Amino acid sequence: MAIHPIEYRYGHPEMKAVWNEENRLRKMLDVEVALSKAEALTGYIPEGADEKISHGARKVKLERVKEIEDEIHHDVMAVVLALAEQSGDAGKWVHFGATSNDILDTATALQIKDAGLILAKETGKLRSILLETALSHKNTVCAGRTHGQIGVPTTYGLRFAIWASEIDRHIERLGQLISRATAGKMSGAVGTQAAFGKKGIEIQEKTMEILGIEAADVSNQIIQRDRHAEFIMWMANTVTTFDKICIEIRSLARSELAEVEESFGKKQVGSSTMPHKRNPIKSEQVCGLARIVRSMVEPALLNNTLWDERDLTNSSCERIVFPESCVLADHVIRLTAGIIKNLRFYPENIRKNLELLNGLNMGEAIMIELSKKGVGRQEAHEIVRQCAMSARETGIHMKDALIKNETVSGYMTESEIIRIMDPDSYIGTAVEQVETLVKKLEKKRIDIC
C-alpha cells in the first residue's frame, strides 16, 4: 500500500526514475565498474578483471541485493557481494581499495547530475512560457499595486517578464553550481587513499573521467556536504519564485478582482458543498509544496556538520532529502508551467480595476507634468495630494478635483488633464523592457553539463 503522496499524487515519472531503488543500484554498479576500469588501467588490479566485473554488473538484480542486505545489514556491502557473485574469479577485485562512501557519494553525484538536467530542462520550458505570455500581454495595461493598494498603471507583460528574468537567473545559478554538486571521489576510509597506495590520485581521476564528473580535490570519508546543500538551497530558492508567482495569481483571481483565472475543466468540481466555486487549487498546491522543499534546507546544511572524518547522521536524512526535494521541485516547476500556459485573462475586469479609483491612481502623472511646467516638485506633490484627498472624500472623479484647483487649471487645460490622466499613456518603457528582455533571453541556451 502506498503511504507517501509522492508515490501516488505528486511527481513526474522522469524525475522519480532518477531516484528509485533500481536506478540507485545501477548508479552504484556504474561506480564500481568505473573503479575497476580505472584500477585495471593503472595496473592496480589484473588486466581483464574489469571486463568480468562490468559483465557481472549487468546481471546483478535488486532482489538479490536485498536478500544479502537482510542478512548482513549493510547496503553497500550487499551490492559488493552481489556483484562479486556475478563476476567469477574477478569477484575478489570488486570494490578493491574503496570505502562505502566512495561508491555512495559518487553514485549520488551521478543522480544529482541527471536530476539537474531535468530541472534545467523544465525550468527552461517555464521560462519560455513566461516570455511568450509577457510578449502577448506587453500592451495589456493594468493596475499596479503596492502594499495591496492600487498605484500607477503597469502591464501584465512587465509582470511576466520580471518573473521570466528571475527564473533565468535560477537557470544560470544551476549551471554554475552543478559541477560542484556532482563531484565524486575515491579517497578511502578517511580520505588518505592509503588503500590505493601511490596510485590513489590517478585512480580517482580516471574513475571520475570514466563517469563524466569532476573529482573532488580533497575529501575525508565523504564528499563535503556544502556541495549538496547548495543544490538543495537552489531548489528552495527556485520554488520560492514559483510560490511568489502563484500567490500573485491567487490574489488576482480573487472574486473581487477576477483579472485572471486558472483553467477550469468542463467537469471540474470546485467545492463539495458550493457548486459555484472555481478555486485556484493548482496555484495553492505550488505554494504548499514550496514550503516542503524549503524545509529541506536546514537538514541539508546540518548534514555538513559531521564528527571528525564523518559520522552517519547524514545518511538516513539524505535518503529523504535528495529524492523528495528533487521530485517535488520538479513537480512544482511543471505544475507552474501548466498554470501559466493555460491562464485565462479577463480584460473587462482588468480595465474595471484600473479605473476603480476614479483617476486617483494617476496623481503621479499630473504631479510630474506640473513640475515640468514650472511648479516645484514638492509643491506639485502637495497640490495633487490635496486634490486626491478632496476627490476621495467627496466621491468626485480626480480630473474634476484637478480642474477645480486654481493652481492646476492655471498650468494646464481640461483637455490636457484628461489626456495626462489616460492610464494607457502612462506605462513608460514597459513595452520596450519586455521586448528587450524577450530578445535577450531567446538567444540563451540551457547547458549545465
Q: Which residue has the cell 590520485?
A: 201
Residues 343 and 376 in one domain: no
Task: Output the pLDDT for position 447.
Answer: 54
Note the pLDDT tens digit of each residue in 393-412: 999 999 999 999 999 999 99
Q: How confident is the model at residue 449 (pLDDT cuts 50, 70, 90)?
A: very low
Across the chain, what does the average pLDDT equal? 94
268 inside domain:
no
Q: Which of 136, 271, 295, 425 does the annotation list as catalytic?
A: 271
Percentage of the chain lying above the pLDDT 70 cut: 98
Residues 222 and 323 in one domain: yes
Q: Given 326, 351, 376, which residue is the final one in a domain?
A: 351
* pTM for the whole structure: 0.93
Residues 255 and 385 in one domain: no
Residue 144, pLDDT > 90, answer: yes
The sign of the CA dihedral 2, 3, 9, 13 is: negative
Q: How many domains does the chain have?
A: 2
Output phi, psi for 308, to 5 deg.
45, -125
439 inside domain:
no
* CATH number of the domain encompassing residue 27: 1.20.200.10
3-state secondary structure of 260: strand
Residues 78 and 200 in one domain: yes
**Grid cell digits, residue 35:** 573503479
Type and span of the H or E element at 152: strand 149-155
Residues 197 and 226 in one domain: yes
Q: How far apart are CA 127 and CA 229, in angstroms?
A: 25
Residues 418 and 314 in one domain: no
Residues 198 and 344 in one domain: yes
207 inside domain:
yes
Note the pLDDT tens digit of each residue in 6-18: 999 999 999 999 9
Q: How far apart are CA 118 and CA 236, in angstroms?
A: 16
Domain range spanning residue 380? 355-425
Residues 286 and 386 in one domain: no
* 271 is annotated as an active-site residue: yes
* 147 is annotated as an active-site residue: yes
Q: Which of 147, 272, 316, 415 does the annotation list as catalytic?
A: 147
Higher model confidence: residue 406 or residue 113?
113
When mean pLDDT is compared across 104-113, 195-204, 268-277, 428-437, the lowest value belongs to 268-277
Per-residue pLDDT, averaged over 356-383, amounts to 94
Residues 166 and 283 in one domain: yes
Q: N- to C-terminal Cα distance for the chain?
A: 38
Q: Given 351, 382, 407, which residue is the final one in a domain?
A: 351
Task: Output the pLDDT for position 277.
Answer: 67
Q: Given 286, 320, 351, which residue is the final one in a domain?
A: 351
Note the pLDDT tens digit of each residue in 323-363: 999 999 999 999 999 999 999 999 999 999 999 999 999 99
